[in-house]
Structure 1
Amino acid sequence: MSTLPPAFYRRPDPVQIARELLGKHVYSCLDGQLTGGRIVETEAYSHEGDDSMQLHLKRRGTHGRALHESGGRAYLYQVYNRHTLFNISTNAAEKPDTVLIRAVEPLVGLDVMAARRGGLAPDSPKLTAGPGLFTQAFGITPALSGTDLQGPVLWLTDEGDTIADADIVASPRVGLAYAGETAATLPWRFRIKDSKWTSPVK
């Protein structure tokens, strides 16, 4: 097991990074409670040719700062004043791209996750099968935006689980009608085929 190095995130193609993150593992350690799981769904976002990124690039302050640093930091924000989304900054500081982790297969700290999710059964797909569900289960909040993914709080690892192209489903990203037809139809959402832990198809 090895922590993904900064060079993994600082490559210029967020689509490739989003595909390669499938099968990698993500961990949080908050208040001494370790949680972890295998990434089964991602979405890529680019600063070029992707109008859905424009709103994010206008963000300032603590939450948006991670977008304007070299790749390998958590970019966290809330939607609907409720759900935290865990994005990873990629590329160079002057070329801000991101990858959203949409869902994970829970593997470590199942009891902790279940308690954070209101007492759900550890084998319930509702535990982590969606971007807001996953972050709640892992205890991730916008207060952690900007966290270096090389540290002891949030990190990702390669545990040798490579996903074959034939087992990856590519489709348009979720909820981007506001960004125009081009952004809404880019096939930059990636899922592991037949995983019960991916978020519902829309």
Structure 2
Amino acid sequence: MILTRDFYEKPTLELAKALLGCELIKETVDGLASGYIVETEAYLGPIDQAAHSFNNKRTKRTEVMFGPSGYTYTYVMHTHCLFNVVSGQIGLPEAVLIRAVEPVEGLELIRLRRGDKKEKDLTNGPGKLTKALGINQGDYGRLLDVPPLYIQTGYQPEHISQGKRIGIDNSGDARDYPWRFWVTGNKYVSK
């Protein structure tokens, strides 16, 4: 069952946990690929020095985060496209970064896109999962309750772990915020 818009209308930290176990799906001309979300990071824009929208910084890149929740915020970091779910209220630019998924459908397509990798290395990072599923900058601003990019119910994780976010060492005190969540013991978690 595809998640409805009201699912995304939770506080960002709550949404980051609620997305764990949900299935992220992308349909392309090459076929469908999907994975259960097993790792997320919350970014609370206005108060979060690690967020692109810190201090309500409004740019062409961050514009979608100022709108309603349940939309796609994609951006390129180095050479990788990263996928986020817009959260928060209108005018409150927050998002949840999807850091890792456990492949569900389209494993052959995922392997083709990712090359000769160990199974656990196919989707265990934010750039890896977007390449594996075919998510790209063209998905920016897409509503997440209709194909070709959507999230549906999956499973309820037994245990969720929480800790510091990864790769944000230059973000002041925000580097220590425990806003990373993952399915405990899942081999697809990035670290």
Shorter-chain TM-score range:
over 0.9
Matching of residues 1-202 of structure 1 within 5 Å:
2-11=1-10, 13-55=11-53, 57-58=56-57, 60-61=59-60, 63-80=61-78, 82-120=79-117, 124-159=119-154, 161-164=155-158, 167-181=159-173, 183-200=174-191
* SS of match in other structure, 2:51: helix
Return the alpha-carbon distance in structure 2 between the equivalents of residues 111 and 23 of structure 1. Answer: 22
Whether the 8 Å contact between 1:74 and 1:86 is mirrored in structure 2 is: yes
Return the alpha-carbon distance in structure 2 between the equivalents of residues 84 and 70 of structure 1. Answer: 22
Deviation at 1:112, TM superposition (A): 0.5
Deviation at 1:137, TM superposition (A): 0.2
Whether the 8 Å contact between 1:65 and 1:146 is mirrored in structure 2 is: no
Query: Which ranges of 4 or more aligned residues in structure 1 deviate by more than 4 Å?
Result: 54-57
CA RMSD of aligned residues (A): 1.6
Q: Which stretch shifts more, 129-138 or 88-97? A: 88-97
Deviation at 1:10, TM superposition (A): 2.1
Deviation at 1:48, TM superposition (A): 4.1
Return the alpha-carbon distance in structure 2 between the equivalents of residues 55 and 24 of structure 1. Answer: 26
Deviation at 1:91, TM superposition (A): 1.8
Return the alpha-carbon distance in structure 1 between the equivalents of residues 135 and 64 of structure 2. Answer: 15
Structure 2: which amino acid aligns with 1:3? I
Whether the 8 Å contact between 1:68 and 1:94 is mirrored in structure 2 is: yes
Deviation at 1:58, TM superposition (A): 3.3
Whether the 8 Å contact between 2:35 and 2:105 is mirrored in structure 1 is: yes
Return the alpha-carbon distance in structure 2 between the equivalents of residues 3 and 55 of structure 1. Answer: 28
TM-score (norm 1): 0.88
The structure with the greater share of residues assigned to helix is 1
* SS of match in other structure, 1:177: coil
The number of residue pairs the alignment matches comes to: 190
Matched-pair identity in %: 34
* SS of match in other structure, 2:117: coil
Structure 2: which amino acid aligns with 1:175? G
